[in-house]
Structure 1
Amino acid sequence: MTAQLISGEAIAAGIRAEVAGGVQALLRRGTTPGLAVILVGDDPASVSYVTGKARDCEEVGINATTLRLPAVTTEAALLAEIDRLNADPGTHAILPQLPLPKHIDEQTIIDRIDPLKDADGLHPANLGRLLRGEVTGPLPCTPHG
């Protein structure tokens, strides 16, 4: 059996080109897709990951905003931000960067995100649809691979 070299960079470039084409189709219809990433705290790995997401979004034409909140942000304050983003027509997807600080219940935050704006597909309604094979929204990145 011959080994085959797989280029992750080439695959990623193909995916970005496909996404950029979808974004262009939305732009032609007058919609600029908007992603809100919420970063609570300043964990270096999370900051790096969020920075990469913003760069990738910019490359394909998605309007990405990062809401950076201090690690001492209360759960109530974070829920209020989620409510604001849920109501914002320019925000089409919301992604809380996990893990959150220990004093914030992650599931409470995920549950508050409008299932139609759940970028990670982790809202219980979206997970239920996934388990039933009714994938109509985003797939969770890690399980999807």
Structure 2
Amino acid sequence: RHKQARERREERAKHLASKRALWLEKEEKARVLREKQLEERRRRLEEQRLRTEKRRAVLEERQRQKLERNKERYEAAIQRSAKKTWAEIRQQRWSWAGALHQGSPAHKDGASRCSLSAVNLPKHVDSIINKRLSKSS
């Protein structure tokens, strides 16, 4: 009888040891899997951070280049305007509407002060505009 009880205890101990070994193995696998998942997550987050940083750097570089181009364009315009004399500027402004000086060739030919684009306009422009405005309301 004692022998059977001892054998049962030994069997039970073996069974418990086996269950414990399986449980420890399962726990180890779960721990390894968690570590692997955490490492993968860290890697993905780092890659995302690098992509975001690279994208931001590219955008900043584009912005810097755009500002540089605008600055160069502005400085070139300032240089051009600084080179012009006031007489040239006045002459250019008056030439947009045609010659205004009495001694100019345009007045000698009998042309008016209007530019060529205004010469061909019909005389009844106001009535055309009023008609269109009344239709739209």
TM-score band by shorter chain is under 0.3
Bigger share in helix: 2
Bigger share in strand: 1
- Indicate the structure (1 or 2) with the bigger Cα radius of gyration: 2
